[in-house]
């Protein structure tokens, strides 16, 4: 998409920018003080920066486990994006504050001396030229990398086990989490580690470009590293030591996600016409930024129904577990958010549709309408491929007496799948400390969110109203909202006060009066059956 300038806000009214350094593209959105989107633009890495030869923004190495992106591609994308914005006539002197997000977990290694370079960026040259020697590692590990299994085991052993590590950092050790990636770099390429004066996340790297100096890692994105104690919001000594020597100095001090880190560097003032007083609000991870973009509130749950189903939760009393992640909350410093990923989402729904309703969504929906809540006691687990939450595989069906059965009638099969998926989503959310409270809303997004009958089951299982919203630009929009909020956060104004003018999501389903009773029982039964599946030897 080329740049689009939309609205007719007063020509000199303030603007707020949100950037999103995601896996495949760099995006920006500009909003005015009334939260109207006035401009958006993007740079696609594969097609617009073909010299970096990425596919989907990354390089998958021959071992299939190592996945990296060239740091200079991200820098060049920013040059290109800012040129496009200026070219589109956007008056960047109106920008009061900017913030942004980055794909979570990816790391950037700044070469010794880079902070001096960042301070003296000459506005006649582009960032890509100026910073070409500023990185000790050219190819940054990104979230798709899974090459640090050994380092994960070492970290868990040092912390006293996976449960203890999850309790401290919000997650057991994951290969993509930055601490394990840093440990791997230190073990395999010690010189490059030694030559790095600073290590950033993709988010804080991007903020550093705007600041002309190193930006702090924010609490929320910092929670995706297996290094931050999510309760004290300080680096965990045990984790730092287990990963690499002298790491604290290289990471800097983490900061609240709502902090104003400073003003844009003079480079942006002279080259692009930004105002000297334009504030840079801490950048954060794409998932935390999406939570802000969706304006999730305490008790809310966002369900993205795609190839895999992802859940975002606002959590007040977290109980980190071996599955899922707890992060510091990006908009309310004392609270938390949780993220859960379920691999068997749309593809499994499509398979069951093909096998039971002749490939028709209409007949699939009719099957849901015609079968009762609770499915007459029939229940099913459909893990076509190895599930993440919980780690189980295979299809397991049970009748009302908990006897295993090899098939259900077509209608019962459809309902068993959809109920089973949503009961599982609720069960695992509650295990991480989530609870449904009065006023809880379920915000549904993604492909399957256009199916009303599927959303009715979602509403019944969570015993809460379901709303739909478009999540596609939510990280970017959330970053623009966060930029606006950052300016007033210190004076105690809440994020919700700032975003209350944003359009409301659309109500699409409310729970059936018997739903609470039916699914409360099913949750307990599902948990017991899931446990028995996990005990079985894998096929």
Residues of this chain that interact with ligand 5FX (CB under 6 A) are: 22-23, 103-105, 143, 176, 224, 285-287
Contact 153, 180 (CB under 8 A): no
CB of 121 to ligand 5FX, least distance (A): 27
Strand partners, 26: 21, 43
Which of 38/140 has CB closer to ligand 5FX? 140
CB of residue 102 to ligand 5FX, shortest distance in Å: 8
Which residue, 165 or 508, is less far from ligand 5FX as judged by CB?
A: 165
User: What does DSSP say about strands 234-235 and 260-263: parallel, antiparallel, or unpaired?
Assistant: unpaired
Contacts of residue 352, Cβ cutoff 8 Å, sequence gap at least 6: 364, 382, 413, 414, 417
Alpha helices per DSSP H over 282-400:
286-293, 346-356, 361-370
Question: Which lies closer to ligand 5FX via its Cβ, residue 285 or residue 374?
Answer: 285
In angstroms, rounded to a whole number, what is the distance separating the alpha carbons of residues 391 and 396? 14
CA distance 395 to 405: 10
C-alpha distance across the termini of the chain, in Å? 47
CB of 304 or CB of 344, closer to ligand 5FX: 304
Give the other-Cβ count within 10 Å of 157's Cβ.
13
CB of 191 to ligand 5FX, least distance (A): 28
Residue 357 CB, nearest approach to ligand 5FX (Å): 32
Residue 47: how many CB atoms within 10 A of its CB?
9
10 Å CB burial of residue 478 (0-12, 13-18, 19+) is: buried
Rg (CA), the chain: 24
Q: Which is nearer to ligand 5FX, 99 or 365 (CB)?
A: 99
Residue 398 C-beta: closest distance to ligand 5FX, Å = 32
Q: Which is nearer to ligand 5FX, 136 or 148 (CB)?
A: 148
Q: Least distance in Å: CB of 105 to ligand 5FX?
A: 5
CA-CA distance, 155 to 158, in Å (whole number)? Answer: 5
Shortest distance (Å) from residue 345 CB to ligand 5FX: 14
For ligand 5FX, give the closer residue by CB, 176 or 186.
Answer: 176
């Amino acid at each position: 998409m080329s740049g689009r300038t939309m609205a007719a806000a007063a020509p000199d009214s303030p603007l707020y920018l949100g950037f999103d350094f995601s896996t495949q593209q760099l995006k920006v959105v500009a909003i005015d003080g009334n939260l109207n989107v006035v401009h958006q633009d993007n740079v696609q890495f594969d097609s617009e920066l073909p010299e970096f030869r990425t596919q989907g923004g990354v390089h998958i190495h021959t071992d299939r486990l190592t996945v990296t992106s060239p740091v200079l591609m991200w820098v060049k994308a920013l040059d290109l994006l800012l040129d496009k914005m200026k070219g589109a006539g956007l008056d960047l002197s109106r920008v009061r504050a900017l913030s942004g997000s980055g794909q979570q977990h990816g790391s950037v290694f700044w070469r010794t001396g880079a902070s001096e370079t960042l301070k003296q960026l000459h506005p006649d040259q582009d960032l890509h030229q100026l910073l070409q020697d500023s990185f000790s590692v050219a190819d940054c590990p990104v979230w798709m990398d899974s090459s640090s299994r050994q380092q994960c085991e070492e970290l868990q052993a040092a912390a006293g086990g996976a449960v203890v590590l999850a309790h401290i950092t919000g997650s057991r050790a994951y290969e993509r989490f930055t601490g394990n990636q840093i440990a791997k770099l230190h073990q395999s390429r010690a010189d490059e580690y030694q030559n790095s004066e600073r290590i950033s996340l993709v988010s804080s790297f991007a903020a550093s470009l705007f600041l002309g100096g190193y930006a702090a890692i924010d609490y929320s994105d910092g929670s995706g590293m297996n290094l931050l104690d999510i309760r004290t919001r300080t680096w965990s000594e045990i984790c730092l030591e287990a990963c690499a020597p002298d790491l604290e100095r290289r990471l800097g001090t983490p900061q609240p996600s709502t902090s104003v880190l400073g003003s844009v560097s003079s480079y942006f003032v002279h080259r692009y016409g930004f105002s000297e007083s334009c504030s840079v609000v801490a950048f954060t991870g794409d998932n935390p930024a999406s939570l802000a973009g969706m304006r999730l509130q305490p008790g809310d749950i966002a369900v993205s129904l795609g190839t895999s189903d992802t859940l975002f939760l606002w959590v007040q009393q977290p109980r980190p577990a071996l599955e899922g992640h707890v992060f510091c909350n990006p908009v309310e410093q004392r609270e938390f958010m949780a993220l859960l990923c379920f691999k068997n989402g749309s593809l499994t729904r499509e398979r069951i549709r093909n096998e039971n309703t002749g490939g028709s969504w209409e007949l699939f929906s009719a099957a849901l309408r015609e079968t009762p809540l609770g499915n007459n006691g029939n229940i099913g687990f459909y893990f076509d491929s190895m599930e993440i939450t919980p780690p189980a595989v295979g299809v397991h069906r049970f009748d009302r007496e908990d006897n295993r059965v090899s098939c259900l009638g077509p209608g019962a099969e459809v309902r068993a799948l959809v109920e089973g998926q949503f009961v599982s989503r609720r069960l695992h959310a509650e295990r991480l400390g989530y609870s449904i409270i009065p006023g809880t809303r379920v915000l549904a997004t993604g492909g399957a969110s256009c199916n009303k009958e599927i959303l009715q089951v979602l509403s019944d299982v969570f015993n809460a109203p379901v709303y739909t919203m478009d999540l596609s630009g939510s990280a970017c929009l959330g970053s623009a909202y966060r930029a606006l909020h950052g300016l007033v956060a210190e004076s105690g104004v809440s994020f919700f006060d700032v975003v209350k003018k944003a359009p409301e999501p659309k109500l699409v389903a409310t729970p059936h009066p018997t739903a609470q009773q039916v699914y409360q029982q099913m949750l307990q039964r599902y948990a017991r059956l899931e446990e028995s599946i996990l005990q079985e030897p894998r096929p």
